[in-house]
Amino acid sequence: MSKESKSANNRPYSTEFKAGDRLFVLSGPNKGKIGLFKRFFPKKGFILVEGVNLGVKHAKSNPNLGVAGGRIKKEKPLHVSNVALVCPKCADPTWIRHEILPGATDDDKKRKVRVCKVCQARIDE
């Protein structure tokens, strides 16, 4: 495994990706593919992107659960450093920075939103 399989300080990875995000694969055999964020594994920093990096899994049928056996296509994890967010505003793979927005009233909590570094648009509203 590459040195990327563990974070430098042995702490879990974090990610800025959220459900519904479109993600762009930056490197590897799936370079250039775009899919929806599916799942993130903080321990190793792996991410599942819907419809990208498919592998074939041989599944046993389970009639009790109504599961048919056979070859099932399933996403394999990609490393989170090889994936970039596709900005919904400019439709390009981008990097994000954060902006702290004040609440609507004084009692409101401040909100942290993601901002596209390319077009400066707010990704979270």
The residue among 67 and 121 lying less far from Zn ion, judged by its C-beta, is 121
Q: Pick from 16, 61, 119, 124: which binds Zn ion (CB under 5 A)?
A: 119
Return all residues near 104 (Cβ < 8 A) that are at least 6 apart: none
Q: Is 86 in the site for Zn ion (CB under 5 A)?
A: no
DSSP 3-42: GGGS-TTSPPP-----TT-EEEE-SSTTTT-EEEEEEEET
The residue among 5 and 95 lying less far from Zn ion, judged by its C-beta, is 95
Q: Pick from 41, 75, 89, 115: which binds Zn ion (CB under 5 A)?
A: 89
The residue among 112 and 122 lying less far from Zn ion, judged by its C-beta, is 122
Q: Is 116 in the site for Zn ion (CB under 5 A)?
A: yes
* Sign for the pseudo-dihedral over CA of 69, 75, 123, 119: negative
Amino acid of residue 70: G
The residue among 56 and 90 lying less far from Zn ion, judged by its C-beta, is 90
Whole-number Å distance between alpha carbons of 79 and 85? 13
Q: Is 118 in the site for Zn ion (CB under 5 A)?
A: yes
Q: Pick from 87, 93, 96, 114: which binds Zn ion (CB under 5 A)?
A: 87
**Contact between 110 and 98 (Cβ < 8 Å):** no
- Site of interaction with Zn ion (CB under 5 A): 87, 89-90, 116, 118-119
